[in-house]
Structure formats: C-alpha cells, structure tokens
Amino acid sequence: MPKVLVIEDEFDVAQSIKSVLEEENFEVLIGIGGHDALEKLETYKPDVILLDIIMPIMDGTEVLKKLRENKATKNIPVVAVTAISASAGIKNELLGIDPKIGFIEKPYHIDDLLKEIKSTIKKA
C-alpha cells in the first residue's frame, strides 16, 4: 500500500484528499502546514508527498527546500499543488530546487490527481 503525506494548510481540503486516496488503497497522513509536516517526516516515511505550495507561515517552496536539504527526505518524490494563476513562476522556482517534481494545478479533477501521484511514484 503506497504511503502519501498530504501537506495542506486547509484541514477540510486535506481530509477530502485523504478520503479519496484511502478509497484508492493509499495510506495517508496529513500535515497541516509545513512545520507540522516536517515534524511528521521524522517518523513517517511516505512514498510520495502531495505538497500545497500556497500556505501561510511556511510556503511549499520553503518546505521543498527543507526536504531536499535533509538526507532522510531528499529523495522522497513530491507532487506540487498550486493554483493555475500562480503556476508559471512557481513551477520554474520549484524545478530549480527539484527537476523531478510533479505538478497538479488547482482546481483539479481527482482522476488527474491520482494519475499524477501514481506517475510520480513510478518515476522515483
């Protein structure tokens, strides 16, 4: 069963994603915001991270930098989730940090999200 860490600042959105992924036989843990997620990564080793980019306090770009600087998390594949309006500049910045990062733009169809998560796990 593939393990996913969902990093999202909105609890309801995270719960919704978790429900869908669990129906597809994923094990899912939620990190509400960057700090919470990084703490959970000390003991939880996911197969992929679903990372919301636009978050208060610690945004997804900062989280990704910290993931790639840490020996224990630097190779965990990441799917970045961002709003279409912000995607162009953010994509370039994130690709500079991790050229293998996957992307899904909000609003997304759940089938596209599942496809991107599965594809990113296979590439790892």
CATH number where 87 lies: 3.40.50.2300
State the pTM of this model: 0.93
- For residue range 89-110, list pLDDT tens digits in order: 788 888 888 998 998 988 889 9
Q: Which residues contact 44 (CB under 8 A, 6 or more apart)?
A: 3, 5, 29
Work out the pLDDT band at 86, boundaries 50, 70, 90: low
Give the C-alpha separation, 49 to 24, whole Å.
16
Give the C-alpha separation, 40 to 33, whole Å.
11
Three-class SS state of 81: strand
Three-class SS state of 17: helix
The domain total for the chain is 1
Q: If you count them, how many residues does the chain have?
A: 124
Three-class SS state of 5: strand
Residue 73: pLDDT over 90: yes
Question: Going by DSSP bridges, is the β-strand pair 78-83/48-52 parallel, antiparallel, or unpaired?
Answer: parallel
Mean pLDDT of the chain: 92
> CA triplet 74, 103, 62: central angle to 5 degrees?
45
Give the residue numbers spanning the domain of 73.
Answer: 3-123
Residue 62 phi/psi, 5° resolution?
A: -65, -40
- For residue range 48-59, list pLDDT tens digits in order: 999 999 899 999
Work out the pLDDT band at 40, boundaries 50, 70, 90: very high
